[in-house]
Chain A
């Protein structure tokens, strides 16, 4: 299961319950992230714990932050899936902006490698 456009790839790997993000997610508005949101919802419905791996994601704009925030809040309200976020020190924005998601759901695990 994946969403692929010229600048990015979002792919769900059921074998390790991980959604991998790569490239540049800089779509025009929150609505443009609908397919990514659907993938996350479908992936989340299949597992009790889901890892979102951002290590290969170079850019995420504010519309993308909002779209992902909606998924985090929806998971928090449903109590599942448990979420784990993984980022990379190599991408400056990840250390700061991924912590925003944790503000939305304090039980969520965040690892910067």
Chain B
């Protein structure tokens, strides 16, 4: 399967050496069975990166909150939409001086991949993210309790945290869909 890319996926060259980086491998089922682990991982990543701003504790705290908030949405999506059995979520975080690059990769089902593509096609080129947000939330008010889904995670980090997002769809050796989400978080002005 040829890979297909939506949004801004290659904003930072892969060869560029970061100031700090970390990689984690997680299991989607361990996150969904103990949901608070998503927050724990988000806080760990935020703490690791924001340590670079320790000279200014107030700024470090702002960085911590912003990084954890953005990462939380990425890891929640991966946990919810991964294949659950014998599957892993790969996380890579690279810190360049003013940009943080998060990469979260997981295998998923064809149905989830299709829904995700529909979502991306509907929002990737939207000029007015605020209008898209209103449209999604107002539509939710018409949903029944059981069918309620947020659906605004990526939108909120793009709109409120000025994160640029790219998504690559490819396939693993068994032909299962692989989703790789890259988020580029500008840390200046956080």
Chain A interface size range: 20 to 34
Q: Is A104 an interface residue (CB 8 A)?
A: yes
Of A14-22, A39-47, A79-87, A90-98, the stretch lying at the interface with chain B is A90-98
Q: Is B90 an interface residue (CB 8 A)?
A: no
- Provided the pairs A6-B36, A100-B133 are in contact, do residues A26 and B141 lie with their beta carbons within 8 angstroms? no
Report 13 cross-chain contacts, Cβ distance below 8 Å, ordered by A residue.
A26-B35, A26-B72, A30-B140, A30-B149, A59-B69, A61-B72, A62-B153, A65-B152, A69-B140, A70-B140, A70-B141, A92-B69, A104-B134
Contacts between the two chains (Cβ within 8 Å), count:
93
B65 and A65 contact, CB distance less than 8 A: no
Q: Is B148 an interface residue (CB 8 A)?
A: yes
Contact with B along A8-51 (1 / 0, CB 8 A): 00000000000000001011111100100000000000000000
B66 and A93 contact, CB distance less than 8 A: yes
Interface size on B, residues (CB 8 A): 37
Q: Interface residues, chain A, CB within 8 Å of chain B?
A: 6-7, 24, 26-31, 34, 58-59, 61-63, 65-66, 69-70, 73-74, 90-93, 96-97, 100, 103-104
- Label chain B's interface by main secondary structure: helix
Q: Is B73 an interface residue (CB 8 A)?
A: yes
Contact with A along B28-40 (1 / 0, CB 8 A): 0000100110110
B152 and A93 contact, CB distance less than 8 A: no
Q: Is B156 an interface residue (CB 8 A)?
A: yes
Measured between beta carbons, the chain A residues less than 8 angstroms from B36 are 6-7, 26
Measured between beta carbons, the chain A residues less than 8 angstroms from B153 are 61-62
Instruction: Tell me, rounded to whole Å, the shortest Cβ–Cβ distance linking B82 to chain A.
Output: 14
Measured between beta carbons, the chain A residues less than 8 angstroms from B42 are 26
Measured between beta carbons, the chain B residues less than 8 angstroms from A28 are 32, 35, 76, 80
B150 and A103 contact, CB distance less than 8 A: no
Instruction: Tell me, rounded to whole Å, the shortest Cβ–Cβ distance linking A69 to chain B.
Output: 5
Measured between beta carbons, the chain B residues less than 8 angstroms from A74 are 141
Q: Is B8 an interface residue (CB 8 A)?
A: no
Measured between beta carbons, the chain B residues less than 8 angstroms from A66 are 137, 140, 148, 150-152
B152 and A62 contact, CB distance less than 8 A: yes
A74–B26 CA distance with the chains assembled, in angstroms: 38
Measured between beta carbons, the chain A residues less than 8 angstroms from B145 are 31, 34
A92–B185 CA distance with the chains assembled, in angstroms: 14
A93–B145 CA distance with the chains assembled, in angstroms: 27
B62 and A92 contact, CB distance less than 8 A: yes
A73 and B138 contact, CB distance less than 8 A: yes
A65–B61 CA distance with the chains assembled, in angstroms: 22
User: Most chain-B Cβ atoms within 10 A of its Cβ — which of A27, A31, A59, A92?
Assistant: A92
